[in-house]
Amino acid sequence: MRAIVEAGFISLSRNGVEGTTTRHIAEIAGVSVGSLYEYFANKEEIFDAMHQHVVAEVVDMVQPRIPELVRMEIRPLVAELLYRFRDLLERDDGRYLRYMSYAAYFAPRNQLEPINRMLMNLLVQYVMHHPDLTRLGNLPAMGFIMINGGIFTVIRHLTDPHPTVAFDDLVRGLGDMVGYFVEGELARGP
Amino acid sequence: MRAIVEAGFISLSRNGVEGTTTRHIAEIAGVSVGSLYEYFANKEEIFDAMHQHVVAEVVDMVQPRIPELVRMEIRPLVAELLYRFRDLLERDDGRYLRYMSYAAYFAPRNQLEPINRMLMNLLVQYVMHHPDLTRLGNLPAMGFIMINGGIFTVIRHLTDPHPTVAFDDLVRGLGDMVGYFVEGELARGP
DNA sequence: CATTTGTTCGGATTCAATTCGGATATGGCC
DNA sequence: GGCCATATCCGAATTGAATCCGAACAAATG
């Protein structure tokens, strides 16, 4: 069962979505096709399990570190999150990255929710630890932008076969984006 | 042929990716299954054609207006682009939006390239019309962030069945993000 | 040992994508 | 009009993948 999900990632990485058949998965996992259906009702459920696995990894990576993250300056915080995120995605020959770049295909409904909630939570905690930030308006909207913009920009950059910008520049850019925004908003306020 | 591509959007909108079979497409288009293959080598090519169609629409929407867009202030410019983009995506019951929410992923090659290039072009022209902006560092990286972040954030917001933030707030937020960034960078420079 | 329970298997079934040979329409030419 | 060339269309037949199912096997229990 663990092996099947594992095999799913491997096959996806090797053969892409279309090329990933139940046969392949079964073969890689070292079981017969019929056995897949002992654990999963259909192929979709295998992908679901893979999805949950990735989501859980991301959450586990950040969640326990929220207390320390909350104490950091904005730009280093952004950088820290992005680098960690990249490392996770590139682990095992980009296994998770491959999955992610197809994710919406499998999970039509918003199944990145747990990650979203966790990051929103981080944002709220962060603001509470930096009292001057409470003057920022419309936190939900800014959170939505930063979280989604950040995640997709990184995925898109990592999947780009010929990136025109370096990842480091991307990280610095995103950090500045957030940093300047906060500084700008605070400077404007009364 | 036009009807087939059209049917593709309709079926995708009605049945999702998995549910979109050649039968459906043929039926909606009012032709037989066999006829599809007179025009397209396989189903994938139909999706490709749909893709090109959307991309062309987006480019046609912005490209001719670059001369006037280039004269606008940053925040109104961002707002203008985003609202237009939304309107396009929501046209015909969100036909293009549906497509986009899948396309962003399952286009293995970067087939959003024309849009990227066009927006990069807009960015460059914009900077040339606002000489003080030439002091901004790392334009490619910032362009990458703004373009990708913007596109995906909007798509993600529009596909969210229960958005927690209003589209107007999103637009204002993205505008501020870019605006404050530029102002911040300029204030820092010598 | 007989029976139950759980696990694995590989063939049978179903359904969608694609192919193909023939049918039908169109339009230029006598 | 009649005739052919070409383009277009059709839908039954093929192929291959997903899924189902009942037999085989093994371990556990009485």
- B179-182 long-range CB contacts below 8 Å, 24 or more apart? B179/A184, B179/B74, B179/B75, B179/B78, B180/A180, B180/A181, B180/A183, B180/A184, B180/A185, B181/A176, B181/A177, B181/A180, B181/A181, B181/B142, B182/B74, B182/B133, B182/B136
Backbone φ and ψ for B136, nearest 5 degrees, come out as -65, 135
Residue A189 pLDDT > 80, yes or no?
no
SS3 A36: helix
Nearest partner of B149 among A149, A98, A64, judged by Cα: A149
Express each pLDDT in B108-159 by its tens digit: 556 788 999 999 999 999 999 999 999 888 899 999 999 999 998 999 999 8
Q: How far apart are CA A138 and CA B85, in angstroms?
A: 23
The single-letter code of the amino acid at B90 is: E
In a domain, A45, yes or no: no
Give nucleotides in strand C with any atom < 7 A to a protein C-beta. Answer: 7-11, 16-21
Q: How far apart are CA B105 and CA B88, in angstroms?
A: 19
A118 with A163, same domain?
yes
Interface test with A, best of B162, B180, B185, B186 (most A CBs within 10 A): B180
* Distance CA A3 to C1' D27 in A: 22
In a domain, A168, yes or no: yes
Handedness of CA B130, B136, B139, B141 (dihedral sign): negative
Listed range (A16-20, A47-51, B126-130) with the worst mean pLDDT: A16-20
- A137-140 long-range CB contacts below 8 Å, 24 or more apart? A137/A185, A138/B165, A138/B169, A138/B172, A138/B173, A140/B164, A140/B165, A140/B169
A1 with A60, same domain?
no
Per-residue model confidence (pLDDT) at position B146: 95
A177 with A152, same domain?
yes
* Distance CA B92 to C1' D8 in A: 30
Per-residue model confidence (pLDDT) at position A160: 87
A30 with A74, same domain?
no
In a domain, A46, yes or no: no
B4 with B67, same domain?
no
Q: Which of B138, B148, B173 sits opposite A152 (nearest CB)?
A: B148
Q: Are B133 and B78 in contact (CB under 8 A)?
A: no
Q: Are A175 and A79 in contact (CB under 8 A)?
A: yes
B64 with B34, same domain?
no
A109 with A178, same domain?
yes
Backbone φ and ψ for B159, nearest 5 degrees, come out as -85, -10
A14 with A105, same domain?
no
- Residue span of the structural domain in which A20 resides: 1-40
A15 with A62, same domain?
no
Looking at the complex, does the CB of residue B48 fall below 8 Å from at least one CB of chain A? no
B61 with B138, same domain?
yes
Angle, vertex CA B157, rays to CA B149 and CA B78, nearest 5 = 50
CATH of the domain at A13: 1.10.10.60
- Please give the structure tokens belonging to residue B186: 């300029």
* Distance CA B107 to C1' D18 in A: 24
> What does the DSSP assignment read for B64-128?
GGHHHHTTS-HHHHHHHHHHHHHHHHHHHHHHHHHHHHHHHHH--S-TTHHHHHHHHHHHHHHHH
Question: Where is A34: in which H helix or E strand?
Answer: helix A33-39
Per-residue model confidence (pLDDT) at position A71: 97
Q: Are A130 and A74 in contact (CB under 8 A)?
A: no
Express each pLDDT in B47-99 by its tens digit: 989 999 999 999 999 999 999 999 999 999 999 999 999 999 999 999 999 88
Per-residue model confidence (pLDDT) at position A124: 95
Q: How far apart are CA A48 and CA B67, in angstroms?
A: 47
- Please give the structure tokens belonging to residue A189: 């306020």
Express each pLDDT in A51-79 by its tens digit: 899 999 999 999 999 999 999 999 999 99
B6 with B91, same domain?
no
Length of chain B equals 190
The single-letter code of the amino acid at A27 is: E
Q: How many domains does chain A have?
A: 2
Q: For residue A108, what is the DSSP state?
A: T
Q: Which of B144, B157, B181 sits opposite A181 (nearest CB)?
A: B181
Do the chains contact at B169 and A138, CB–CB below 8 Å?
Answer: yes
Express each pLDDT in A134-187 by its tens digit: 988 889 999 999 999 999 899 999 988 899 999 999 999 999 999 999 999 998
Task: Measure Cα distances from B12 to A100, A160, B97, B154 in Å.
Answer: 21, 26, 10, 20
B112 with B182, same domain?
yes
Residue B105 pLDDT > 80, yes or no?
no
